[in-house]
């Protein structure tokens, strides 16, 4: 007796399905966030609407929380020239106090690049190359060993 796999079943097992599911999930999540944004804020920043519930966990320019005086030295800056992206945190680097890590994250939540620093690193600067034709929002994170996790965004 042979086993028949219906096309729809076959599609469900397609290797790309997890990505497709993830995208659908993201779209759903983004829609939900967008609805929340409409009722609570005029911002079109999806992360911003999520940040309200991330207070004390993720720090941003808009929501620096207890680190309001630390924005200038902890919020990562994102500079884009063509396909090249530079992330910088204007923060000193010493054994006791330094920037631990940067990441660059796509609008779909994929890590496009990351760099881990040490106290010996000269500065908290990292460089990345965007995927060909990348358009949309782009996120940078910066983690200080004393002043926690910061998130900045821009648009390509």
The binding site for Fe ion (CB under 5 A) comprises 144, 146-147
Between 23 and 146, CB nearer to Fe ion? 146
Question: Closer CB to Fe ion, residue 102 or residue 147?
Answer: 147
CB count within 10 Å of CB 9 equals 9
Residue nearest Fe ion by beta-carbon distance: 144
Quote the CA–CA distance of 46 and 22 in Å, as a whole number. Answer: 17
Nearer to Fe ion, 50 or 148 (CB): 148
Shortest CB 76 distance to Fe ion, Å: 12
Q: Which of 23, 65, 27 is nearest to 46 (CA)?
A: 27
Minimal distance, residue 122 CB to Fe ion, in Å: 16
- Min separation Cβ 99 and Fe ion, Å: 7
Handedness of CA 74, 75, 81, 86 (dihedral sign): positive
What are the φ and ψ backbone dihedral angles of 86, each rounded to 5 degrees?
A: -120, 130
């Amino acid at each position: 007796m042979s086993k028949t796999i219906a096309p729809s079943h076959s599609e469900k097992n397609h290797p790309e399905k997890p990505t497709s599911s993830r995208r659908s999930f993201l779209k759903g999540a983004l829609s939900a966030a967008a609805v929340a944004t409409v009722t609570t804020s005029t911002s079109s920043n999806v992360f911003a609407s999520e940040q309200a519930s991330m207070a004390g966990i993720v720090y941003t320019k808009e929501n620096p929380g207890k680190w309001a005086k630390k924005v200038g030295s902890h919020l990562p800056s994102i500079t884009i020239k063509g396909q090249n992206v530079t992330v910088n945190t204007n923060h000193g680097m010493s054994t006791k106090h330094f920037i631990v890590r940067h990441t660059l994250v796509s609008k779909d939540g994929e890590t496009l690049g990351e760099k881990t620093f040490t106290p010996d690193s000269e500065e908290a600067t990292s460089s990345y190359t965007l995927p060909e034709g990348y358009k949309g929002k782009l996120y940078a994170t910066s983690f200080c060993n004393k002043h926690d996790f910061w998130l900045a965004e821009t648009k390509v």
